[in-house]
Amino acid sequence: MPENLYVRLSRVAESLDCYAVQWLLLDESTGIVRAKGAGDGSDFQDELSNLQPIAGEVHVLLSTELCLLTRATVPGRQQRQVSQAIPYMVEDDLATEVEHCHFATSSTGGSEYAVAVVDSELMSDLFDWLTTTGLPISTLTPDVLHQPSWPSALVHGGRCWVRTEDNGGVLTSVALLPMLFGSPDVHEMTSVGETVDNEARPVSITASKSDVDTIEVLASQLAAESLAVETHRAEYSAFEYLCRNFNTNAINLLQGDYKIKRPPSTRGVRWQTLAVLAACTFVFNILLLFVQGTYLDIKASQHEAEAVDLYRSVFPNARSVTGIGTKWEAHLRGNRVDSGQSFMKVFSEAARHVPASDMQLISVNFNASRGDLIMQLQASRNEQFVTLARTLSQAGLQADIGTLSQDEGLVKGNIKIRVDG
């Protein structure tokens, strides 16, 4: 698995115009932290050169104190109508006008929707700042939603991330936790107080080593409210704990005007390129076959015309020139019945092997009465006659070497082939 970069944004208490940034580069396959740090926006941008290139995804966690997580019930099936109605369904939960808010939603089934609300100006500033980093942001989600279960609480340094439901939660102080889980409204929203196999569903509280005493006190307070409690000790900081339990189903704030448009996958482009190349190759082969067929058709017409001209020059009184091959055969045999192989077939087969033998064909003599085809050849060595005779015999012809003579460094001789079987 690749290395994913996690970035958490929160407000600096002394200045609402400055962001506190935490970052962590995590190797998902080994669980090894490759890099981590904290600072303001400029510190993070100075560190970017050491973090890149990033092989995996970039996930931004937004401090839950900067957004509101709530629910809405909106009857209707068309997403456009639902998106228009949701802001007014949660208007009573807002501290500002609907027009000044950015809304992100996630369906929880049927007409139920989880809703995340962020101030429009804040969302615009966040998006602009993230854009300046040049990072390929995949998600922007409330950090409280990355606890592995609910109802649960993550305690760190006097603060408490409380996840009340799948896409619901708050960031509050530790002192308010008993009051929060004891609230009837929270009982209604969450599974607190429900029973599973006749046992109450417990509230899971996790804290780092430094906050162990705190969660023991919290556990006692919740137990006094008749709530079942499970306590866990984390080996990591609160931020790293949330990163290691990253919830891919959390509400993504990058919706609407802030939706990220991803460039086409390089893999998809590669396959498209291969498909286009294959199509071009196919079309090229079809065109090549067409051109080749046209060329062969033209050559066949030329050879046919040459054969007709040759036949007419030899037999000027012939009235018909159809079936030239058969007529040649009949003339060569003196119109007697063919009792063996066709002369034309034997001659064609024999002549086909001559070019490969590197020999020169001087003349061809056919004796119709004996049924012999005699080829007079010229070569540079005697062995070439032997090789050609052997090749013709392997091709199924009855070939024998005749008289050989040497003249001026060249060997002349005959190869006799039996035409009639």
Model pLDDT, residue 77: 67
Which one has a higher pLDDT value, 94 or 336?
94
Q: Residue 88 is which amino acid?
A: Y
Among candidate residues 401, 421, 419, 420, the one with its CA nearest the CA of residue 411: 401
User: Does the predicted TM-score (pTM) go above 0.75?
Assistant: no
**Cα-Cα-Cα-Cα dihedral of 339, 342, 346, 351, to 10°?**
150
Q: What is the pLDDT of residues 250-288, one digit of tens each?
A: 999 999 888 887 655 555 567 788 889 999 999 999 999
What is the C-alpha to C-alpha distance for residues 330 and 318, in angstroms, rounded to an integer? 13
Model pLDDT, residue 141: 94
Name the β-bridge partners of 379.
411
In this predicted structure, the answer to whether residue 292 has a pLDDT above a threshold of 80 is: yes
In this predicted structure, the answer to whether residue 317 has a pLDDT above a threshold of 80 is: no
Q: What is the pLDDT of residues 17-42, one digit of tens each?
A: 567 899 999 998 888 998 999 988 88
Among candidate residues 142, 198, 130, the one with its CA nearest the CA of residue 166: 142
* Contacting residues for 411 by C-beta, under 8 A, at least 6 apart: 378, 379, 380, 381, 382, 384, 385, 404, 405
What is the C-alpha to C-alpha distance for residues 57 and 354, in angstroms, rounded to an integer? 70
- Percentage of the residues of the chain whose pLDDT score is greater than 90: 21
Give the CA distances from residue 178 to residues 175, 216, 221, 318, in Å, rounded to whole numbers and listed in that order.
7, 12, 6, 120
Exposure string over 311-337, b if 16+ CB within 10 A, otherwise e: beeeeeeeeeeeebeeebbeebbeeee
Which one has a higher pLDDT value, 306 or 246?
246
Q: What is the pLDDT of residues 80-138, one digit of tens each?
A: 788 888 888 898 888 889 999 999 998 888 888 999 999 999 999 989 988 888 888 99
Judge whether 393 and 417 are in contact, CB under 8 Å. no
Q: Specify the residue for token string 């592995």.
A: 148
Q: What is the pLDDT of residues 157-202, one digit of tens each?
A: 888 899 988 888 898 888 888 887 766 555 554 445 444 444 557 8
Give the CA distances from residue 125 to residues 128, 130, 139, 259, in Å, rounded to whole numbers and listed in that order.
5, 9, 16, 15
Instruction: Provide the phi-psi class of 34: left if phi over 0, else alpha when psi is between -120 and 50, else beta.
Output: alpha
Judge whether 343 and 320 are in contact, CB under 8 Å. no
**Which band of pLDDT confidence, cut at 50, 70 and 90, is reported for residue 339?**
very low
Give the CA distances from residue 343 to residues 186, 259, 276, 368, 415, in Å, rounded to whole numbers and listed in that order.
105, 82, 52, 9, 15
